[in-house]
Amino acid sequence: MKLTNEVKLGITVFTAIIVLVSGIVYLRGVDFQKNDYTLIFIYDNVNGLAEGNEITIAGFKIGKVEGFKLHKSGVAVTVAIEKDVQFSNDSKAFIKSSSIMGGKIIAITPGISNTMLNDGDSLIGAYEADLTELTSTLAPISSNVLGILERVNTTFDVPTQKAIQNILKDLNRSSSELERVIKNNGQELDLAISNFSKFTHSLSTTGITLDSLTKNERSNLSATFTSAKKITSELEKSSLHINTTISNLNTTVTNLNSSTKSLDVILSRFEKGEGTLGKLSKDSKLYNDLDSAAVNLNSLLKDIKANPTKYINIKAF
């Protein structure tokens, strides 16, 4: 059977389409079997990252970039990770350059947490500048430095330039001298640094000990404060009682003062001969009469006891 030109052209086009689709599938890393899980990395800037870029750990490919989506002020990158690879939720996901040509990859630095990322979890990523970006950043700086040096050469005259050279030489000599001193006294400096380190360690140990003592004695201090509060309360009660006692003493003193004044009046009248006691103390005749009457009364009582019938008549009926 002889094929016509149209059939040959159709077969050629079909074959080319199959090759093209296969190439795209291969280059994009499309896998028709679901052997991975999805994670979301959040970046402020993806810096040229593209779909299909590799995800690596220690240079070993573990997945690829599948898509991008705006997320607040950054970008959410959807990645597919092989299902037999897991890393913790404190891992770092850095966007790096894979080659000097500027290709990008996401390099995972595993963390130490025991909590692993699962399908659908998210992780905050970061960006690591590559050599090309550093070169582009340093280029303006180097240009500015060259411009400054050129202006210095045109601004300073020969004597000034020589003076600057002398200053630089002096700085070089000073640096050499300092290096020599450090070499000659290196052991002393090391000893001083070691002593300072020991002192710092001792301070740290002392602080830890004080903290431990404070924790251990916290209950005792609490009990002491409680006792102090009770003592203060008792002192307040005692103070009230003392105030009451003092008030009573003041009243007693007032009464004593009043009694003393009355006694003074009585003594004054006694000294003047006023009243019965005063007259007795001043009039000796009255005193003698009273004494004589008392003696006679005493004699009468004795006689009545001795001779009752003399004074009392008892008749029997």
Residue in 109, 119, 44, 110 with CA at minimum distance from that of residue 80: 119
191 pLDDT higher than 50 = yes
- Higher pLDDT, residue 312 or 10: 10
Q: Tell me if residue 101 falls in helix, strand or coil.
A: coil
Nearest 5°: phi and psi at 128? -115, 115
**Reported pTM:** 0.37
Lowest-confidence pick of 86-95, 107-116, 290-299? 290-299
153 pLDDT higher than 70 = no
64 pLDDT higher than 90 = yes
In this prediction, residue 78 carries a pLDDT of: 95
Helix axis angle for 218-272 and 275-282, nearest 10°, is: 60
Q: Are 57 and 110 in contact (CB under 8 A)?
A: yes
If pLDDT is split at 50, 70 and 90, which confidence band does 61 have? Answer: very high
- Rounded to 5 degrees, what angle do the CA atoms 101, 106, 112 make? 145
Share of the chain above pLDDT 90, in %: 23
- Higher pLDDT, residue 92 or 224: 92
Give the rounded distance of the alpha carbon of 159 from its chain centre. Answer: 59
Which tens digits make up the pLDDT trace of 197-224? Answer: 777 777 777 777 767 766 666 666 677 7
Burial of 86 (0-12, 13-18, 19+ CB in 10 A): middle
Q: Tell me if residue 40 falls in helix, strand or coil.
A: strand
If pLDDT is split at 50, 70 and 90, which confidence band does 293 have? Answer: confident
If pLDDT is split at 50, 70 and 90, which confidence band does 256 have? Answer: confident
If pLDDT is split at 50, 70 and 90, which confidence band does 279 have? Answer: low
Residue in 95, 112, 110 with CA at minimum distance from that of residue 50: 95
Q: Which tokens sit at 315?
A: 């008749």
- Higher pLDDT, residue 249 or 149: 249
Q: Tell me if residue 96 falls in helix, strand or coil.
A: strand
Share the mean pLDDT of the chain. 77
In this prediction, residue 317 carries a pLDDT of: 45
Q: Which tokens sit at 143?
A: 């240009």
If pLDDT is split at 50, 70 and 90, which confidence band does 306 have? Answer: confident
43 pLDDT higher than 90 = yes
With b meaning 16 or more CB within 10 Å and e meaning fewer, what string describes 179-197?
Answer: eeeeeeeeeeeeeeeeeee
Dihedral of CA atoms 16, 20, 21, 23 in degrees, nearest 10, equals 140
175 pLDDT higher than 80 = no
Residue in 91, 230, 151 with CA at minimum distance from that of residue 79: 91
If pLDDT is split at 50, 70 and 90, which confidence band does 44 have? Answer: very high
